[in-house]
Amino acid sequence: MSLFFLAKRFVAGEEFEAAIPAIRRLNEKGIHVTVNRLGEHVKDQTAAKRAKQEYLAVLDHIKRARVDSNVSIKPTQIGMDIGDDFCYQTIAPVVAKAADYGNFIRLDMEGSPYTQRTLDLFYRLYENYQNVGVVLQAYLYRSVTDAEALNRVTARVRLCKGAYKEPASIAYQKMDDIRRAYLQLAKSLITDGHYPGIATHDDLLIEAVKRFVADQSISHDRFEFQMLYGIRPEAQEQLVQQGYHMRVYVPYGPEWLPYFYRRLRERKENVWFVLKNLFKK
């Protein structure tokens, strides 16, 4: 018997068709969506090309279903571990189709060995397609310089704290320092950037961003908050009701176990939710 039912709070389905109802429910609440097929570190060209075909099909599904969703892709899922040129050649048709459909592709950011390579991939794609964005991780020291460069080309940046274990030589380790760096970057991206995604579940950061934009008389249309599917849904709806743009990252796919495990490690209440539902009749 599949244990997928345990992950259903955080993963919308094992196939994209199963995720469409979840996307619709979010859209009905005024929430935008970014969808991602789970999977990473593909070493085989055939598997990377299958991922490309999956994303091309997802874009078709989104268009046919008329749901409000763009797409997020991990570069290692689509061939970066095979080679940078191969990765570019694999992902470019996906970005091109998204451009034809008026949709948007976000390049997810992975661990620090991929940071510069992912930015290089972004800039290479951005020469021909402006419907592509990238992610910065606030705990990396380099992100201040990276944000300045991305602001100069009016790139759409998703800002997160950073989820990978990185050494103190390149990344902040203490949460106070990470929050300080995050808020500095958020202010820069909102002030000088192009519609950044402020991706956090941290109330301290959310309230600090809200105070900043209010104090600076910055329109809510200049940015959006972003959260993960199944985490703090009431807060997501509340932000929409307060007049902010909200986007939820909705993952799907059969490779759900590592993602599910990360969600349990992040928050104790996630573990409690799963345990309660495990013993429900």
What would the DSSP string read from start to end of 40-77? -----HHHHHHHHHHHHHHHHHHHHHT--EEEEE-GGG
Q: Domain of 124?
A: 4-278
> What is the rounded distance in angstroms from the CA atom of residue 75 to the CA atom of residue 5?
28
CB 227 within 8 A of CB 13: no
Task: Please list the residues that pair with 246 across neighbouring strands.
Answer: 225
Catalytic residue among 158, 179, 247, 263: 158
What would the DSSP string read from start to end of 173-237? -SHHHHHHHHHHHHHHHHHHSSS-EEE---HHHHHHHHHHHHHTT--GGG-EEEEETTSSHHHHH
Residue 158 appears among annotated catalytic residues:
yes
Look up the pTM and report it: 0.91
Q: Kindly report the CATH number assigned to the domain that includes residue 71.
A: 3.20.20.220
Catalytic residue among 37, 106, 108, 247: 108
CB atoms within 10 A of CB 228: 18
When divided into structural domains, the chain yields a total of 1
Residue 262 appears among annotated catalytic residues:
no
pLDDT in tens, 100-154: 999 999 999 999 999 999 999 999 999 999 999 999 999 999 999 999 999 999 9
Selected residue with higher pLDDT from 100 and 10: 100
